[in-house]
Amino acid sequence: MMDSFNRENVKINQLPNGLTIATWEMPWERGVYASLRFRSGSRQDPQGREGLAHFLEHMLINSIPGRPYQNLIQEYSARSGMINAATSSTFTEFVFELPGEFYLTGLRDICAMATAPTNSPEEIEKQRRIITEEKKRDHREAVSALYLNRLRRLYPTDRVCANVLGELETIAEIGQRDLEVFHNDHFTAANAHLVVAGNVSHDEVCALALELLGNLPEGERNYQLYNRNLDASPCDGVILSNYFNNGASKLQIVYPLIAFGTFNREYAAIECFRRHLDNTLCRVVREERQMTYHVGATLGQDRDFNSVFIIEADCTNENLPIILQVIDETTVAALHNFDDTYLQSAKNANRFSNRMAYPTRLNNAKRLGHHVESIGDLFTDREDEALYDSMDIAFVKDRLRKLFSSPRAMLIDGKSIPAGMFHRQVLLGEDGNLEKQKIGVAALMRLRAGTMHAM
């Protein structure tokens, strides 16, 4: 195996079948965090079998003979660790965290899960019952529906908008053959990477991976993750939903960072302003307006698909116009006042939070995974601090101009939203198709005009 990347304690190799292995050797760490990820999620669910990727994950985590998943959770907890699996629209992932002396056991377990057969009729019916109940009692259904509407508005032609859990009708139709075909087609070496960070030996990880994953078929590589080949045409618009019926409203103004990605200089520049805007919104709403509502700014990902900048608020329906006005005025003022002093304060805060937010092994594993997928630059902690130090106010303002001139969507969820609040609106139909414009984006246009002027 030829080493394709080697800087400090980072090493990246490929097995003969094409599976990528990346390690960040950190002998000073007591623990190890590992992730075996396949770029296969609900985006690959066949029509009429929505929820198949999630169903397969349920089958695989219960596939180790004599060690059901609940027993594994207890085993790992007794060792001050954890084991888990997750399915999103773009990937299925098996992870563990353990003290260094047990990490080879963790690697064997997640590799055994990912490669296990899924042909037990009894287990299929058991997991179908579990998933059906999970779907019925999903307390996040209202928020999830709003979230999916957001994705459909921003990326109307992309399967990223599919519900990961599927629907009750499609869950009932999933059978043994569906699981076997999906497993064989997508859980391949070309679609996989193994990332390990902590007190590990790269050579030891590679040797065990060759033993446990070396027989995976090479297969074909699925789509490029995130925003490299974005099959979408984002545009301005407003979506009204009626999932909350208790007089409360949830507002989100969403800007997709299509040209940015994660863990890079552009993302860091937006994060500096996000902190300033978040603090300013909190101060204006709580101290100046004497309101108890949550209003703030966040930076994250849409279903691990695309980076987004979000201004959001939770309030009552009748006060929604006031909150929109506060957001308009405060965002413009924050941009106008954002100078070297605020930038330096944000840099210091980001450096501190990066050190404190996660154990180093976990943070480095995430960064290394993004680097392997070519969706983010790889920074060590020291280089990350140098990245923040290298940014000046002109660079940040340039990135903010791009951000606030990009298309965005506004989502408002509430049962009895006052009539006449907007001049136009774009509604999302039940089938996910955009209907004709009716009332809409006045607040977005005011915000765009104001922010452009402020910068």
Q: Out of 77-81, 96-100, 367-371, 400-404, pick the least confident.
A: 367-371
Does pLDDT of 192 surpass 50? yes
My answer on whether 253 and 209 are in the same domain is no
My answer on whether 165 and 276 are in the same domain is no
Does pLDDT of 286 surpass 70? yes
- pLDDT band, residue 54 (cuts 50/70/90): very high
Between 413 and 14, the more confident residue is: 14
My answer on whether 242 and 350 are in the same domain is yes
30 and 22 Cβ atoms separated by less than 8 Å: no
What H or E segment, with its residue span, contains residue 86?
strand 82-87
Residue 77 lies in a domain: yes
Does pLDDT of 260 surpass 50? no
Residue 402 sits in which domain range? 237-454
Residue 218 lies in a domain: no
Does pLDDT of 4 surpass 80? no
My answer on whether 241 and 186 are in the same domain is no
Residue 225 lies in a domain: no
- pLDDT band, residue 432 (cuts 50/70/90): very low
My answer on whether 204 and 251 are in the same domain is no
Whole-number mean pLDDT of the chain? 77
Q: Report the alpha-carbon distance of residue 83 to residue 64 in Å, rounded.
A: 13
Does pLDDT of 225 surpass 60? no
My answer on whether 356 and 420 are in the same domain is yes
* pLDDT for residue 388: 75
Does pLDDT of 380 surpass 70? no
Residue 227 lies in a domain: no
Backbone angles phi, psi at 359, to 5 degrees: -55, 145
Q: Report the alpha-carbon distance of residue 292 to residue 94 in Å, rounded.
A: 40
Does pLDDT of 223 surpass 90? no
Sheet strands (E) in 242-384: 248-256, 294-302, 306-316
169 contact partners, CB below 8 Å, separation of at least 6: none
Q: Out of 41-50, 102-111, 156-165, pick the least confident.
A: 156-165
Q: Out of 139-148, 237-246, 417-426, pick the least confident.
A: 417-426
Residue 232 lies in a domain: no
Q: Report the alpha-carbon distance of residue 113 to residue 85 in Å, rounded.
A: 10
**Residue 412 amino acid letter:** I
Q: Out of 86-100, 115-129, 274-288, 365-379, pick the least confident.
A: 365-379
Here the CATH number for the domain that contains residue 74 is 3.30.830.10
Mean pLDDT of 318-323: 78
Residue 221 lies in a domain: no
45 and 53 Cβ atoms separated by less than 8 Å: yes
* pLDDT for residue 158: 66
- Tens of pLDDT, residue by residue over 75-119, are 999 998 999 999 988 889 999 999 999 999 999 999 999 998 888
Looking from the CA of 203 toward its CB, the CA atoms found within 13 Å total 0
My answer on whether 188 and 241 are in the same domain is no
* pLDDT for residue 250: 73
My answer on whether 193 and 342 are in the same domain is no
Between 177 and 147, the more confident residue is: 177
| Assessment of whether the complete model's pTM goes beyond 0.85 | no
- pLDDT band, residue 228 (cuts 50/70/90): very low
* pLDDT for residue 325: 86
Backbone angles phi, psi at 371, to 5 degrees: -65, -45
355 contact partners, CB below 8 Å, separation of at least 6: 381
Q: Report the alpha-carbon distance of residue 83 to residue 112 in Å, rounded.
A: 13
* pLDDT for residue 428: 34
My answer on whether 207 and 258 are in the same domain is no
My answer on whether 427 and 355 are in the same domain is yes
377 and 208 Cβ atoms separated by less than 8 Å: no
Does pLDDT of 243 surpass 60? no
Residue 226 lies in a domain: no
Based on the structure, what is the number of domains in the chain? 2
My answer on whether 246 and 161 are in the same domain is no
Residue 224 lies in a domain: no
My answer on whether 273 and 175 are in the same domain is no
